[in-house]
A and B are shown apart, each in its own frame.
Chain A
Amino acid sequence: MEPTGDLSARVLVEQILSTEPPMTPVTRSVSRQQNPSSIYRTRLSVKKADAQTPQNILRRSLKHKMRESISKTNLPPASKGRTVSLGLGNPNTRASSSMLLEGDTPRHILMNILQTEPIKSPVIHEGAAPVESQSSSADHSIATNSSIELSGLDLPDLTFGNARSVAKRLSRKRPRRTVNVSTFIKKLRKGEGENEEDSAQEDLSLSSSSTTSFSLKTPFENVQTDKKGLRRRVSQRRKTTKEGFGDAVNRMLLDHETSSLIQGEQGLCESTLAQDFSPKLSNLKKQELINEIIHSNTARYDTGDVPVGDFAVLETQDQSTVMASAIRSVMSIGAQTQPDGKGEVMQVSECQEEKNTTDCEAELETPESEEEDDKGEREEKAAVNPQTEEVVVTPSVEEDNMEEKSLVYSQTKADAATPTEDENATTTPEDEYHIEDDKVALVDSQTEEDATTPPEDEDNMEEEEMVMVDSQTKDDSTTPSEGEDATSPPEEEDNMEEEEMALVDSQTEEDATTPEDEDATTPPEDEDNMEEEEMAVVNSQTEEDSTTPSEGEDATTPPEEQDNMEEEEMAVVDSQTEEDSTTPSEGEDATTPPEEQDNMEEEGMAVVDSQTEEDAATPSNEDATTPSEGEDNMEEEEGTKLPTEDSAAVPSEEENALAARSQSKGKTDEEQELNQYIEHIDRQAHRFGGTFIIPVGEDDTTEPGLSEQDVAGKNSLRDSHSSIKVDSSDLESSGPHAPHPDSDPDESEAPPVEGAVPHEQDEWEEYDDEEENKEIPMKTPAFVREKRTFQMAYQVSPTAFNPQTSSNKSEAVPSVKPKRVRKPKSATVKNEVGLPKNYLMGVFRHFAKTKVSPDVYPVLKETMDKFFDRMAEDLETFALHAKRKTIEVEDVVLLLRRQGHVNDKVPVEVLIEKYLRMDQRRLLIPVATSGNIVIPKMKR
């Protein structure tokens, strides 16, 4: 309401009068009474109440005084109001405050008011003092005006007549006021006249500046120009005043008009300007001010903290309390800001990398093998053959089988189909059968079926087929349910003469063995199909198969097969069959193996025998057979465990025999087959129990043997075996198995060659056991390995059987196996914990000023890994050295120190401040949080 620039005593007085209870002599007591309660409120209320009459009186007096002042004083009229103030600045007025109760001049009035007002608060007191001093000095000149203004500032604080004006004054002149107050106080103490000038001068300067600036502007604007140092104090003051203001403001709001009116009245005098301003300001800016005050936003500087909370409270508070509240407010605000500042979201957005993988390949293989199987099937189907019917059956069966492991078989079959197109019709089905001998039973059945039809085809096939038929028929007889499969495979075997034959034989053998009975038939049948070598193989297989599943029957078939098998493979087959026969029916096997052995004389005959015997010895040796034949194919099927083994043995022999031929080709296949067989064998092993372990070992041996033993006759078996096993094991990641099988087959091979079938068997068994033992230790110690062993067993047989089996099958088999194994693997392999990629790269990027290519990440991760290793180790050492079981902060600090990051010069706190977020800082440093918190949070 006041003209900011015209804070003359008069103006101030007017304001006071308006706000305060009339300080006229009449109201003196009233004011006094009111003052203690609440300076501002009472004043305001009283003033308002009595504003009318006393103000009127005051006005008159003021007018009068103004005139007097004009006449008396020489104060340069800085503003209209100044004159009045000048007038007021009579020393008389100063001296006699009481006299000036009414105060001719506004100044006097002011003084009177101030003086009359009891000391309500130190602030007020100060205000009063400066006011008095101001009033005293007001007489002089502008300084007085300024002083009055200053005093007015004080007064408003006390009076809060016009909240806005007061606020304005406060805001404006706080900085000045502070100075003035101090000066005023000094003046008061020292004396009035002397320092007044100084103060007045000071005031002048300040006031002039303020006045000039305030002339037509809101008081707050000037505040901004004020010095910061001053602001500080002002803020303090404001607290008190604000609070009071708050109340006053509210009241003022109520009496908006009245106050304005009052102000208007007051403005009649020269101070009209001020008054005019004041009302205007008050009206216009009152609300602003009020709002500002209410919201404690009046500060033009960054108080930031002082909440204008308790107006009422502050009224009567001492400065100390006010300060405390201010501090509290600051703290609260600071606290608020703190969380805001550090309100980071601990988002663990980083997703840890999963570490799956591993066995995808196997899985992939299976689909591939399946596909191949399908292809093979289609091919076979395409080949319109009498056997196709069976083939159809078999494919169906195969498909069923294939899902699991048939892939291998399919592959093998496919392979078989491709090479021998002629026999594709028959062979392919057979191959398929072989391939899909996962479900050996099915295959066997198929073979059996095939046997019926294939026999027909076989006839067509003539040579091999003839033999095949025999085998098939035998197989048929042998394989009860799966006879169909058996037949088909045998037929297939017939069809597959050469290489395929060999494979087929192995397969058939395996097939026969897997379903045991059925497999026996099929492989034999297959062998039959495989004329030359294959034939022999088939025979052997069939023989073997027959031996294994149906001991008695097998014995018959194998011999027949053996007969058919004349060449190398034949012999091999025989041996295998013999072996097979030996295993299931040792007695019978004895017959067959010898026969087989007889047949097997060339290259791998002995080996085959051994193998066959071995296979026979161990039902799980089917894997060996399978590897030999259709490692690729056999692996999948479990059923043909024994047969697979046998077949594996046979194929191993065959492989050896075929070493020259298809080793190059068959190796891969063999390997696959081996793997498949191994898997197959493993599965079979499951069925048969732990006996598969042996074949697994065999597989292992065979696998490595593939490369090594391809040549050696004895080794042929081993090779095939090992190769098969190796493949299977490799597929199954059962590397350690390899050495075992090698040893085992070698051992097995050696003795059987000599012809002691039972001996062989024993040896075989022993070997198996040994293999088991060896394999077990060799194999992964984890239970994962255990599972692998089984798988390996499976693989061994298939691989042994079907070295030529399509890779798909082998893949299929391992793919199936890995599925089982993966879960435990994944469960176990959970120790790989790394920093999240995003986080790591983010931090690195942040520290690296230039761009960072994402290729860096693996290297970075590795580095961090090592780093963490070292760090953890060090920390652990430190903690243990301190006989503690938890890594403490001091441990880490020690590490930092050792690394050179922290010196005596560089305390840890520095680093903490530097690098950590607030929440962590808070953990570590009790007083790290901002602000002036008296009670720091304790660590932990």
Chain B
Amino acid sequence: MLKKAPNLKKIVKSKTKSNINVRLTSEAMLEIITMLFLKNLAKEATAKSFEEKSATIKPRHVRAVTKKMLKKARG
């Protein structure tokens, strides 16, 4: 996490329907959100992988978790 998330602004702008801007400071906040989300995701995924007694996180773990996480991070 040493580097800036490079494309956040572009991503958000590409996904918004209307032409909307993103303020620079809020871009930093966006990083927070993504960090938080990723962190939760990772946490859940690790938990799931532990359930299966595997040391590494496999895609299936992640997939099983994402749905729940996405629902949670709806707001």
* Inter-subunit contact B33/A895 (CB<8 Å): yes
Choose among A835, A842, A848 the residue with the greatest number of B CB atoms under 10 Å from its CB.
A848
Cα–Cα distance between A880 and B19 once the two chains are bound (Å): 11
Which positions 195-225 of chain A face chain B at CB distance < 8 Å? none
Q: 19 A-B Cβ contacts within 8 A?
A: A346-B3, A348-B4, A836-B7, A839-B5, A848-B42, A848-B57, A850-B49, A850-B56, A852-B56, A863-B62, A863-B69, A866-B66, A867-B37, A869-B15, A873-B17, A876-B16, A899-B36, A916-B32, A923-B28
Residues of B close to A880: CB separation below 8 A: 18, 20
Residues of A close to B42: CB separation below 8 A: 844, 847-848
Residues of A close to B34: CB separation below 8 A: 864, 867, 871
* Inter-subunit contact A939/B25 (CB<8 Å): yes
Which positions 18-75 of chain B face chain A at CB distance < 8 Å? 18-26, 28-39, 41-43, 45-46, 49-50, 55-59, 62-63, 66, 69-70, 72-75
Q: Which of B7, B24, B45 contacts A848 (CB 8 A)?
A: B45
* Inter-subunit contact B4/A871 (CB<8 Å): no
* Inter-subunit contact B1/A846 (CB<8 Å): yes
* Inter-subunit contact A885/B21 (CB<8 Å): yes
Cα–Cα distance between A344 and B24 once the two chains are bound (Å): 18
In the A-B complex, list the 5 residue pairs whose CB atoms are closest, starting with the nearest: A892-B29, A847-B42, A920-B28, A898-B75, A872-B15
Asked if A333 is at the interface (CB within 8 A of a chain B CB), the reply is: no
Q: Which of B4, B46, B69 contacts A917 (CB 8 A)?
A: B4
Q: A181 → chain B, closest Cβ, in Å?
A: 48
Cα–Cα distance between A344 and B55 once the two chains are bound (Å): 31
Asked if A354 is at the interface (CB within 8 A of a chain B CB), the reply is: no
* Inter-subunit contact B7/A888 (CB<8 Å): no
* Inter-subunit contact B38/A843 (CB<8 Å): yes
Choose among B32, B37, B46, B59 the residue with the greatest number of A CB atoms under 10 Å from its CB.
B32
Given contacts A834-B7, A844-B42, A870-B74, contact A863 B58 (CB under 8 A): no
Cα–Cα distance between A835 and B3 once the two chains are bound (Å): 12
Given contacts A887-B21, A898-B75, contact A860 B62 (CB under 8 A): yes
Given contacts A876-B16, A939-B25, A940-B25, contact A852 B57 (CB under 8 A): yes
* Inter-subunit contact A889/B29 (CB<8 Å): yes
Asked if A901 is at the interface (CB within 8 A of a chain B CB), the reply is: yes
Closest to B63 in A: A859
Cα–Cα distance between A876 and B26 once the two chains are bound (Å): 12
Given contacts A846-B1, A850-B49, A856-B58, contact A899 B35 (CB under 8 A): no
Contact with B along A267-301 (1 / 0, CB 8 A): 00000000000000000000000000000000000
Residues of A close to B59: CB separation below 8 A: 853, 855-856, 858-859
Residues of B close to A870: CB separation below 8 A: 70, 73-75
Cα–Cα distance between A836 and B46 once the two chains are bound (Å): 22
* Inter-subunit contact A896/B32 (CB<8 Å): yes
Number of residue pairs across A and B with beta carbons under 8 Å? Answer: 196
Please classify how large the interface on chain A is, using the bins under 10, 10 to 19, 20 to 34, 35 or more: 35 or more
* Inter-subunit contact B28/A873 (CB<8 Å): no
Residues of B close to A842: CB separation below 8 A: 1
Residues of A close to B24: CB separation below 8 A: 923, 940
* Inter-subunit contact B12/A872 (CB<8 Å): yes
Cα–Cα distance between A899 and B63 once the two chains are bound (Å): 21
Please classify how large the interface on chain B is, using the bins under 10, 10 to 19, 20 to 34, 35 or more: 35 or more
Cα–Cα distance between A867 and B69 once the two chains are bound (Å): 9
Given contacts A859-B62, A880-B20, list 10 more A-B pairs with CB under 8 A.
A345-B3, A839-B5, A843-B1, A848-B46, A855-B59, A856-B45, A859-B66, A863-B66, A888-B25, A892-B32
Cα–Cα distance between A892 and B29 once the two chains are bound (Å): 6
Choose among B6, B30, B36, B69 the residue with the greatest number of A CB atoms under 10 Å from its CB.
B6
Give the interface SS of chain B, mostly helix, strand, loop or mixed: helix
* Inter-subunit contact B32/A912 (CB<8 Å): yes
Q: B32 → chain A, closest Cβ, in Å?
A: 5
Residues of A close to B26: CB separation below 8 A: 886-889, 891-892
Residues of B close to A867: CB separation below 8 A: 34, 37, 70, 73
Q: B23 → chain A, closest Cβ, in Å?
A: 5
Q: A355 → chain B, closest Cβ, in Å?
A: 13
Residues of A close to B13: CB separation below 8 A: 872
Q: Which of A840, A876, A892 contacts B33 (CB 8 A)?
A: A892
Cα–Cα distance between A915 and B35 once the two chains are bound (Å): 7
Cα–Cα distance between A853 and B56 once the two chains are bound (Å): 6
Q: Which of A866, A879, A901, A917 contacts B20 (CB 8 A)?
A: A879
Asked if A833 is at the interface (CB within 8 A of a chain B CB), the reply is: yes
Residues of B close to A874: CB separation below 8 A: 75
* Inter-subunit contact B22/A887 (CB<8 Å): yes
Q: B9 → chain A, closest Cβ, in Å?
A: 9
Given contacts A846-B1, A869-B15, contact A836 B6 (CB under 8 A): yes
* Inter-subunit contact B29/A893 (CB<8 Å): yes
Q: A880 → chain B, closest Cβ, in Å?
A: 7
Choose among A345, A347, A859 the residue with the greatest number of B CB atoms under 10 Å from its CB.
A859
Contact with B along A884-910 (1 / 0, CB 8 A): 011111011101101101000000000
* Inter-subunit contact B3/A347 (CB<8 Å): yes
* Inter-subunit contact B58/A853 (CB<8 Å): yes
* Inter-subunit contact A911/B36 (CB<8 Å): yes
Closest to B15 in A: A872
Residues of A close to B25: CB separation below 8 A: 888-889, 923-924, 939-940
Given contacts A855-B58, A892-B29, contact A863 B16 (CB under 8 A): no
Given contacts A850-B46, A851-B57, contact A344 B18 (CB under 8 A): no
Closest to A870 in B: B74
Q: B72 → chain A, closest Cβ, in Å?
A: 8
* Inter-subunit contact A915/B70 (CB<8 Å): no
Residues of B close to A852: CB separation below 8 A: 56-57
* Inter-subunit contact B39/A847 (CB<8 Å): yes
Q: A279 → chain B, closest Cβ, in Å?
A: 53
Residues of B close to A939: CB separation below 8 A: 25
Residues of B close to A862: CB separation below 8 A: 66
Asked if A849 is at the interface (CB within 8 A of a chain B CB), the reply is: yes
* Inter-subunit contact B58/A916 (CB<8 Å): no
